[in-house]
A and B are shown apart, each in its own frame.
Chain A
Amino acid sequence: AQSVSQHNHHVILSEAASLELGCNYSYGGTVNLFWYVQYPGQHLQLLLKYFSGDPLVKGIKGFEAEFIKSKFSFNLRKPSVQWSDTAEYFCAVNARGNEKLTFGTGTRLTIIP
């Protein structure tokens, strides 16, 4: 069965710092990977997704993620964070051809002005 691990539960950074949030999945076959963000009091929004091609994926708001198949990882990065990036971030995976979409436990990001 597929699963997702996000080991950083709460990350606190100052504005302009660089960000990397970890995401590892377990599944032996081909997967599709997603990062979602949930701002306080709002729905989850899609930041970016990977399904094939270039393993470096660029998303909205300056976020990017790199798929490293050998490490079963899909880490989220941003070179310079802003206060408005304060939110909870969720990694998600589904096996290719399967509609079951599994989320990680989330990482709460707090940006200090």
Chain B
Amino acid sequence: NAGVTQTPKFQVLKTGQSMTLQCAQDMNHNSMYWYRQDPGMGLRLIYYSASEGTTDKGEVPNGYNVSRLNKREFSLRLESAAPSQTSVYFCASRPGQFNEKLFFGSGTQLSVL
């Protein structure tokens, strides 16, 4: 049982390049999330998906797009990367009951030069 799998673990981009962060969970969870973690700013929600086929903006959605391809997968796309998007990105999931804990992926460390 792999849990939440994120790829890649590390990535360096140049300003203006695009990339997609992949996330998959094998726990049959309904809800999936993308957060970014920056020093002193905690975890900030980028986008979330309460169920397959739905996505909603979080606190900091600008510059990102997401796709809930199916129940397992939730990808995050940076269309034109900017240095301000340098961060550690975490994917997470939970069953969908509002009081259940999150299961986190191992994170993607992204640097935009």
Contact = CB atoms under 8 A, between A and B. Distances in A.
Question: Are A and B genuine complex partners?
Answer: yes
Interface of A: 6, 9, 32, 34, 36, 43-44, 46, 49, 51, 90, 94, 96-106
Contacts, number: 54
B13 interface: no
B42 A104 contact: yes
Interface of B: 31, 33, 35, 40-45, 48, 50, 56, 58-59, 90, 96, 98-99, 101-102, 104-107
**Interface centre among B33, B41, B99, by most A CB within 10 Å?**
B99
Mostly, the A contact residues are: loop
9 contacts: A49-B99, A99-B31, A99-B48, A99-B98, A100-B48, A101-B48, A102-B58, A103-B44, A106-B43
Contacts of B99: 32, 49, 51
